[in-house]
Amino acid sequence: MKDLSPGALVSAVTTGEGFGNPRLVALAAMGLGLLLAAGNFVLIFVLNRYYPYLLGIAPILLMGGLFMVATGEPKSRGEGQTAPMWTRAGLAGSMVLGLGIGVALVFLVHWGP
């Protein structure tokens, strides 16, 4: 269950460890991101409240999960081997893109009508 730990995505980028089953981790990340986004949008439209931290984290999980579902990487390579740099850079880039989307959503929701 190390693959589903909170720091697993960050350690996949920084250390290149990879995952035993990257698509399972991706689906879990996307599911959590979708749950956070849907819950926040329900709160926005029903109670006129929102939680910017959760709204900012959801796109990071969604974009990182989308990259891993599409590529099936970074996969664990075995003892002493790290994931290829393109997989680490792609995952980091998709998470940074998700961060940008999250920041934009927080500003748009905050400045809304």
113 residues of the chain, pLDDT tens digit each: 466 776 788 888 888 888 888 899 899 999 999 999 999 888 888 988 878 888 889 999 999 999 999 998 888 877 778 888 899 899 999 999 999 999 998 888 877 65
Q: What is the pLDDT of residue 2?
A: 65
Q: What is the pLDDT of residue 8?
A: 81
Beta bridge partners of 75: 19
> Is residue 101 assigned to a domain?
yes
Give Cα separations from 99 to 59, 72, 106 (angstroms): 7, 21, 11
Q: What is the pLDDT of residue 34?
A: 95
Domain that holds residue 51: 14-110
Alpha-carbon distance of 26 to 79, in angstroms, equals 23
Question: How many domains does the chain divide into?
Answer: 1
**DSSP sequence for 37-72:** HHHHHHHHHHHS---HHHHHHHHHHHHHHHHHHHH-
> Is residue 43 assigned to a domain?
yes
Alpha-carbon distance of 36 to 89, in angstroms, equals 25
> Is residue 97 assigned to a domain?
yes
